[in-house]
Chains A and B, each alone.
Chain A
């Protein structure tokens, strides 16, 4: 009996202890994004000296919706920041669900990157973001921010801070004319240059003209490197939102973009540089034209039959093997354009069509919408501000874009150039030196994954863009035979040069509004999700339809089903916002 009681008592005690322990530790582990215990510094101590590297070591939590990585920042970027600021960065990767839990917890860490539109407004309303004007923080520590991103700060203040407070700064800030793309533009099309040359570089007028040419290329090269059949086009569905990403590109070749770059407007396409728009399902619209294009391609045996079922990595593997001859996006070709292939003259290159007006966004002094902001719970507002300010300074932007000076690049004859080691490091063919944290160059970059100053902007300190792949030294560094042949044939140094010279690019001017974009009402959001599902499903069925009749029938079904689920309501809401804002501005 006594023994039994003892046992019972000890069991109860053990559980009570567990509950107690967990309740107790709430005081110390209570915040989601709590500063790591190693940060013993107090903010009072940090005011003593001006040199940030002499201040006590702290760890900052950086929450980024764009990060792929969670954990302590490692590699060369960590070293640079540690040396300069005595700061360690703890990266917390986002995703909609993770972001929601942090918002609900009331603590966004020290730096919050790319909190989405409506969430951002909510976060301000709930007091989760720090006002940069408070205690003169920005004026004291934000010299470079004010100088390089002044307009963006102003815009943020007007949109979100009632004209007085500032809660953040836009990403990719820049100014100037022309497209803000890098040397390589965002869209293609790209063709296998060697095969296209063999055909005698036939003229391509409309988008549909690619079909017969790609067919001939397929006949020229029916087998891939490992003996598998070749296709003109290989698509994937795992990135689709409300529509097929691959079919949407057709609009982007014709100067139209999904949405308007400001509002939530993803079922309409707007002309980049004119006040014109079309609905996603418009009969003469570019989306349906894109579907028709791939439908025709499938009839000609040019469309990879696995397009429907494969995932994106499978597509990359097919490009790698040389199974695909056309690419909508330039970056798809990276896995084929290896030194091994290009040295044999095999590789993809940009082959535009006469009618093409590729969309591009212009330099935006107000910045894009992946805002950088500071969490209101931060214990170190001054040091966070110093760090952010550095990211917006020429020095910080240059290091973030091209790595540490003296290791990856240096100034040679007054111009920036990658070092011999740098050329190898940026392609990940060698590891970084141990004192820079080792590992691959790309893994060592700032894992928040968001730009500050637009990389195509000119760095006043070097006279060349921040992006090393736009440096003249880089462009002239031993170009491969494919690039050489392309440059000769096209009379341009890079894709960007070509589209600007030949005026086949539609640049969307920066848009500024004193008001933040209208929040998407819940019922519109839900309707969009429902009809988006239908549109995706039928789009793929249409691309793989057997006959013209089936294609037409599926199209009819898609439109009537989408309309039944609220397509018109959603479109109406989106168009209204567009016409009040971006549309109105473009009319002027």
Chain B
């Protein structure tokens, strides 16, 4: 941590008053906001108790059937069930790992974008690459269907006309490389948008650092590597740690629209599974139980990743 500026005070008289008050004053200024957090994020957690009930929304809790840990144990109640959960976790693990690996792409995107000197071109790139972020997954799928459908799909028409294939490919209805293709769709949708954070971080780098390096005779690549990269590493690490904590929260919308009977085996991630079993069937007890487990895992991962960050970089993120 940096040296505390408050220690460099000139007059001893004011020092005492200033210092004592400052500690609590900072806290008091944050307090109203912390109260908001408590009210909107912590108070609803009383609902975690539903995980131990067969919860029916209309009835007061006392009239609901208490089921103990049944929703928790139901996940591993028999061999078939365990197999299901294992498969779902495997998918979640695979897709999240690929997601973490591709999380460097927005960094690279931002670095190379700043190397573009033509301002209008840069602006166009920066604007248009955020477009996919604003198209809902449902529409993304309808576009994907237009591209890849067997019957009159763009790709199949092209390949058949070029005599590359004679039988149309069923890209969406196949289970080949499901994890990878889901990751690629995610990258396409989120890359330009995700890069905004890093573009902002690059903007915050002190230009004098570039000047100094240039004076030392650094070329373009050295500038990128020795000035730009260190400048955005803190942001990257913060996002990485947060991303690791989000490992099992892969979301569900994307997988929901792309799922079908053939790729179900590999596309069903935890969030989609909970939707299929819990939400769709109005089983609040089960959905809450899974959500508690997810929160616990996320927090463990968060603190583990933070410790790793301390080990690697000498400072934690949170």
Contact = CB atoms under 8 A, between A and B. Distances in A.
Touch between A and B in complex, CB under 8 Å? Answer: yes
A144 interface: no
B115 interface: no
A15 B32 contact: yes
A314 B284 CA distance: 33
Contacts of A229: 151
Interface string B25-67: 1001101110110010000000000000010111110010101
A388 interface: no
A32 interface: no
Contacts of A220: none
Interface stretch (A70-78, A300-308, A330-338): A300-308
Interface in A540-570: 540-541, 544, 561, 564-565
A225 interface: no
Determine which residue in B33, B39, B277, B284 has the highest number of CB atoms from chain A within 10 A of its CB, and name it. B277
Given A530-B84, A537-B261, A306 B58 contact: no
A100 interface: yes
Contact of A529 (B36, B65, B141, B281): B281
Contact of B145 (A231, A305, A309, A541): A309
A43 interface: no
Interface string A117-145: 01100110110100000000000000000
Contacts of B284: 100
A118 B58 CA distance: 10
B282 A540 contact: no
Interface residues of B, number: 51
A305 B170 contact: yes
7 closest residue pairs by CB, A with B: A540-B261, A15-B32, A564-B80, A122-B58, A103-B58, A305-B150, A104-B57
B36 to A, nearest CB: 7
A387 to B, nearest CB: 25
B277 A125 contact: no
B173 interface: yes
Determine which residue in B29, B35, B168, B279 has the highest number of CB atoms from chain A within 10 A of its CB, and name it. B29
A123 B145 contact: no
Contacts of B63: 125
Given A119-B58, A314-B145, A541-B262, A564 B79 contact: yes
Nearest to A119: B58
Contact of B60 (A15, A126, A309, A541): A126
B149 interface: yes
A228 interface: yes
Interface residues of A, number: 51
A101 B286 CA distance: 17
A16 B31 CA distance: 11
Contacts of A101: 57
A522 B81 contact: no
Contacts of A536: 261
A489 interface: no
Contacts of B145: 306, 309-311, 314
A528 B58 CA distance: 23
Given A529-B281, A533-B276, A125 B58 contact: yes
Determine which residue in A237, A309, A522, A528 has the highest number of CB atoms from chain B within 10 A of its CB, and name it. A309
Contacts of B36: 15, 19
B308 interface: no
B81 A530 contact: yes
Interface string B214-243: 000000000000000000000000000000
Interface string B136-169: 0000011001000111100000000000000010
B151 A538 contact: no
A8 B282 CA distance: 46
Interface string A493-529: 0000000000000000000000000000011011011
A12 interface: yes
B277 A522 contact: no
